């Protein structure tokens, strides 16, 4: 026999179960705010210098569930590891640079690029250790190829977000991860065609990530450029669509250090190149064309797996650093663009995107993509 008090408990339990069944799943119905930035070719702790412009970025990025960039440098204590890159294009940074990125609210990093191996295999491992210690979500390098291709995952109020990361072109001999060697998750391209075995590995990783996460970010660092490095290679457009078809929610690329067009494919954004958010280079002033010192913040809003909003905030970088010994250490700092600078950057991005079927409306210094 069921006592009256027990019956009341059973009825209340049933009501609670029925109510719970009507509730959305964790993260359902909440928009994911994903901010994608140009690559962070950072070699010095920019946050150690007083700069109100960085504070503006920090306030902006703190609003995102995921704030993403490519870490375009190897990270280790200075002087500990021997560089494998003996040129003036060496990218090596002290661990404090990661603290700077963390203070700007970056929380997801691609590690696969042509500079990942600038401090050799030990530099790959040192970078991984420093990135892990600071709680970043990452992908693209590993102690071996199996680890380098693994998706990285991050929990957000909108659900789990995964990252699959790769590098193509300018990956020097010895830099690619193998079954027994630490390195980069390399994807080779031959005569405009992505290598079959590499493609299968990446698409499989994307499918795995899509099974385990609500959203999947696919990243490619690409140095298989066209003769005019402002142009997007046709093979990459085809490849990006294959990645979206496999389950990627967004495809992001860097490599050529300047903006390329934006495509919306199956209600998902494809950023063929977002240029540089930070670009610390020891090249002479004027070595790069002016547009190398310009980029954009892609502020994406997703709902139920599809893109529902995309705003583009123009960014300009200082080609000239502070005078004296701090010239190179302060070069390549970003600031939000305004006025004629904002119009110039957004006009170019609009013109690059229009042939891809993407319409960008410019209002008050912000680009809004028609979804």
Strand partners, 301: 33, 309
With cut-offs at 50, 70 and 90, classify the pLDDT of residue 12.
very low
First to last CA, the chain: 61
In total, the chain counts a number of residues equal to 371
Q: Tell me the angle at which helices 234-246 and 196-212 cross, rounded to the nearest 10 degrees.
A: 40
Structure tokens given for 199: 């493609």
CA angle 79, 82, 86 (to 5 degrees): 110
What's the CA gap between 103 and 27, in Å, rounded?
A: 26
3-state secondary structure of 20: helix
| Per-residue three-class SS string for the chain | CCCHHHHHHHHHHHHHHHHHHHCCCCCCCCCEEEEECCEEECCCCHHHCCCHHHHHHHHHHCCCCEEEEEECCEECCCCCCCCCCCCCCCCEECCHHHHHHHHCCCCEEECCCCCCCCCHHHHHHHHHHHHHHCCCEEECEECCHHHHCCCEEEEECCEEEEEEEEEECCCCCCCECCCCCCEECECCEECCEECHHHHHHHHHHHHHHHHHCCEEEEEEEECCCCCCCCCCCHHHHHHHHHHHHHCCCEEEEECCCCECCEEEECCEEEECCECEEEECCCCCCCCCCHHHHEEEEEEEEEECCEEEEEEEEEEEECCCCCCHHHCCCCCCCEEECCHHHHHHHHHHHHHHHHHHCCCEEEECCEEEECC
Backbone angles phi, psi at 170, to 5 degrees: 60, 20
Give the residue from 224, 229, 183 showing the smallest Cα distance to 74.
Answer: 183
Q: Express each pLDDT in 93-107 by its tens digit.
A: 999 999 999 999 999
The pTM (predicted TM-score) of the whole model is 0.92
Domain that holds residue 208: 4-369
Separation in Å, CA 256 to CA 76, 185, 247, 269, 325: 25, 19, 26, 19, 28
With cut-offs at 50, 70 and 90, classify the pLDDT of residue 336.
very high
pLDDT given at position 23: 31
Question: Average pLDDT over the chain, rounded to whole?
Answer: 92
Out of 88-97, 250-259, 269-278, 320-329, which region has the weakest mean confidence (pLDDT)?
320-329
More confident residue, 30 or 249: 249
pLDDT given at position 20: 33
With cut-offs at 50, 70 and 90, classify the pLDDT of residue 325.
confident
pLDDT given at position 50: 82
Structure tokens given for 179: 């079954």
| CATH code assigned at 279 | 3.60.21.10
Q: Express each pLDDT in 243-263 by its tens digit.
A: 999 999 999 999 999 999 999
* Number of domains into which the chain is organized: 1
What percent of the chain clears pLDDT 70, i.e. is strictly above it?
92
Average pLDDT over residues 297-306: 96
Residue 368 burial (C-beta neighbours within 10 Å; 0-12, 13-18, 19+): middle
What's the CA gap between 198 and 89, in Å, rounded?
A: 27
Q: Express each pLDDT in 44-102 by its tens digit.
A: 999 998 889 999 999 999 999 999 999 999 999 999 999 999 999 999 999 999 999 99
What's the CA gap between 9 and 286, in Å, rounded?
A: 77
pLDDT at 10 exceeding the cut of 80: no
pLDDT given at position 30: 84
Average pLDDT over residues 255-283: 97
Give the residue from 371, 361, 218 showing the smallest Cα distance to 309.
Answer: 371
Q: Express each pLDDT in 113-131 by its tens digit.
A: 999 999 999 999 999 999 9
């Amino acid at each position: 026999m069921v006592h009256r008090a027990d019956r009341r408990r059973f009825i209340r339990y049933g009501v609670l179960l029925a109510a719970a069944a009507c509730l959305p799943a964790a993260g359902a119905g909440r928009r994911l705010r994903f901010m994608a930035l140009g690559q962070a070719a950072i070699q010095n702790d920019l946050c150690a210098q007083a700069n109100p412009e960085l504070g503006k970025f920090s306030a902006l990025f703190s609003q995102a569930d995921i704030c993403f960039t490519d870490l375009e440098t190897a990270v280790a204590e200075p002087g500990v590891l021997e560089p494998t890159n003996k040129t003036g294009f060496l990218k090596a940074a002290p661990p404090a640079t990661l603290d700077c990125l963390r203070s700007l609210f970056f929380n997801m990093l691609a590690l696969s690029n042509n500079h990942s191996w600038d401090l050799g295999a030990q530099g790959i491992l040192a970078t991984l250790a420093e990135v892990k210690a600071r709680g970043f979500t990452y992908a693209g390098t590993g102690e071996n190829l199996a680890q380098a291709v693994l998706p990285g995952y991050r929990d957000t109020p909108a659900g789990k977000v995964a990252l699959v990361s790769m590098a193509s072109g300018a990956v020097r001999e010895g830099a690619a991860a193998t079954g027994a060697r630490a390195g980069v998750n390399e994807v080779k391209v031959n005569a405009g065609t992505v290598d079959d075995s590499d493609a299968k590995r990446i698409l499989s990783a994307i499918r795995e990530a899509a099974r385990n996460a609500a959203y999947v970010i696919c990243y490619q660092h690409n140095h298989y450029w066209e003769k005019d490095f402002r142009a997007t290679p046709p093979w990459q457009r085809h490849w990006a669509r294959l990645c979206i078809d496999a389950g990627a929610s967004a495809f992001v690329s860097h490599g050529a250090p300047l903006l390329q067009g934006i495509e919306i494919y199956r209600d998902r954004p494809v950023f063929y190149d977002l240029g540089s958010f930070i670009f610390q280079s020891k090249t002479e002033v004027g070595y790069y064309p002016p547009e190398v010192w310009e980029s954009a913040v892609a502020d994406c809003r997703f709902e139920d797996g599809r893109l529902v909003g995309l705003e583009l905030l123009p960014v300009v970088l200082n080609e000239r650093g502070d005078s004296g010994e701090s010239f190179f250490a302060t070069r390549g700092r970003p600031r939000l663009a305004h006025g004629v600078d904002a119009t110039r950057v957004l006009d170019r991005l609009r013109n690059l995107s229009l042939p891809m079927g993407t319409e960008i409306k410019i209002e008050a210094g912000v680009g809004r993509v028609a979804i």
